[in-house]
Structure formats: structure tokens, C-alpha cells
Amino acid sequence: MERYIRLDVKGTWRGIEHRSHFAAYDYTEDERDLENGVSCYKADADGVKSLYDYARNHMSITTGEGMQLTVFEGQHSGIGSDYEELAWCTKTISETDAEIWFDKMYEAEEKLNGDYYNEELDDYEDEISEEEYEELIMKATGLR
């Protein structure tokens, strides 16, 4: 089994019963409107970057307020209508506050770009490497 990540509105994750819709706001139970599994991203650095990018640029989510970051184990079932991964959940690993995740992701991005202001040092920190950035985002996601 592989691990996957996704964002959910708090309280809507149904674990092994969860199934995604083709249209994000169409909550019918019509079988024709359902994806073949759960929309998600692989729980690796590329997947974390993709989820963060998708949330900000396609869903216009910038703070994660009212959201949770869900990590689950599952069986890959295909590619979704937005070219994301699809998987069937076999076990929920964690459900954490997405606001904290967004804050940590934003901070990691600032560090990567050399834009992070350290109040204790009263100065901007030097840029970090891509490898250091990936380590920070994996920690932010609870995967390290």
C-alpha cells in the first residue's frame, strides 16, 4: 500500500467509505458523478508540492481555514478528472489542521526563495537548497 495526501473540509473525510466527485461542488450520490476512488496526491515531496500548488492556484485556498490535511494508505486506482491520483483508502493515517500546514508550507517556500525574515536575528535568512526545502515540506506534512 502507498501513502497519499489530500485536503478536506474538516469533518467530511469518511475514511474507507470516502469517494470523490467529478465536480467539486456536486455532492449527489449518483454513480455517474463519482470518481473511481479518492482524489489525492502521492505522499512524497512532488505530491506535497502539487497539492499545495493545486490548493492555492486552482481552489484559491490560501490559509487552510476550516480544512484538514488527510494522510491515508490506499490502493492506486487511476488518474482523476483533474489529472490527480485516485486511490481507494484502506487506512486513515492522520487528519491534521490545514491552517498549520499552510503556514509551514508558506514559511518553507519563503526560505527556499530567500524571503524568510527571522525575527530573532532581525534579518533575512539565506536561501535554502531544494533538498532542504523538500525536507521541510515533508516534515510539515507529517511524513518525516
Judged by average pLDDT, the poorest of 41-45, 67-71, 81-85 is: 81-85
Residue 113 CA to residue 109 CA, distance in Å, equals 6
Return the beta strands (E) in the chain as ranges.
2-9, 38-42, 67-79, 85-97, 117-118, 123-124
Band (119; pLDDT cuts 50, 70, 90): confident
For the chain, the residue count is 144
User: What's the pTM?
Assistant: 0.86
Residue 50 CA to residue 16 CA, distance in Å, equals 23
The secondary structure of residue 15, as a DSSP letter, is: G
Q: Is the pLDDT of residue 96 over 90?
A: yes
Residue 59 CA to residue 98 CA, distance in Å, equals 14
Helices (H), the chain: 45-57, 98-113, 130-140
Q: Is the pLDDT of residue 25 over 60?
A: no
